[in-house]
Chain A
Amino acid sequence: KAGVTQTPRYLIKTRGQQVTLSCSPISGHRSVSWYQQTPGQGLQFLFEYFSETQRNKGNFPGRFSGRQFSNSRSEMNVSTLELGDSALYLCASSLGLAGSDEQFFGPGTRLTVL
């Protein structure tokens, strides 16, 4: 069974631009969660989608948004990029809700904002 895949793996953008990251969960998994990982901050929860509905949202500004498609694939979008958005963005999928199940993580998308 294929694991969680994320594309692209690396991105370089400039301030003010927008970016879209993609995540394909493990087949059959209905939950997709997104996290921002930065040194010293650990993993900061962005949002969780389950069956195309946003179930939970973290404390990030509205510039961060996401969606989930009927095949459970998910995208997250960051508009008006800031230098502080430079981070590793991780996607994780689970059969059930993330809080009650094992999450399987993808390799991440490394975003650099110049």
Chain B
Amino acid sequence: AQSVTQPDIHITVSEGASLELRCNYSYGATPYLFWYVQSPGQGLQLLLKYFSGDTLVQGIKGFEAEFKRSQSSFNLRKPSVHWSDAAEYFCAVAPSGGYQKVTFGTGTKLQVIP
């Protein structure tokens, strides 16, 4: 069965600083990978997804993620964080093909300080 690990429970960054949120997955083949964001009081929203092809994926709100097969990672990055980026971020994985369940990580809560 697939699994996903987000090793950082909580991260604090200064506004304008760069951000990298870590995500590691466990799955035998190349999975489908997702990043979702949950802003306070709001539902989850998809930031980006990777199915195949270019390993650097661009998403909404200036986020990007890079799939690294050798490291089983799919880290989320943003060059300059805005105060509105404060939220909880979830990495998710599903076996390629989409016929099995989506497994979410436990989330990383991002705090942005002025």
Contacts and interface: CB of A to CB of B under 8 A. Distances in A.
Given A41-B106, A45-B103, A96 B90 contact: no
Nearest to A40: B106
Interface string A79-114: 000000000001010001111111111111000000
Q: DSSP class of A's interface residues: helix, strand, loop or mixed?
A: mixed
A45 B102 contact: yes
Indicate the member of A4, A96, A97, A104 with the most B CB atoms within 10 Å: A97
Interface in B77-113: 90, 94-95, 97-107
A43 interface: yes
B100 to A, nearest CB: 6
Contacts of B45: 105
A106 B105 contact: no
B43 A48 contact: no
B94 A100 contact: yes
Contacts of A42: 90, 104-107
A98 B97 CA distance: 10
B63 interface: no
Contact of B101 (A56, A96, A101): A56
Contacts of A96: 98
A33 interface: yes
Contact of B102 (A4, A33, A40, A104): A33
Contacts of A40: 9, 106
Interface string B31-55: 0100010000011111001010000
Interface of A: 3-4, 33, 35, 40-45, 48, 55-56, 58, 90, 92, 96-108
Interface of B: 9, 32, 36, 42-46, 49, 51, 90, 94-95, 97-107
11 contacts: A3-B43, A40-B9, A45-B101, A45-B104, A98-B101, A99-B94, A99-B101, A99-B102, A100-B99, A107-B43, A108-B43
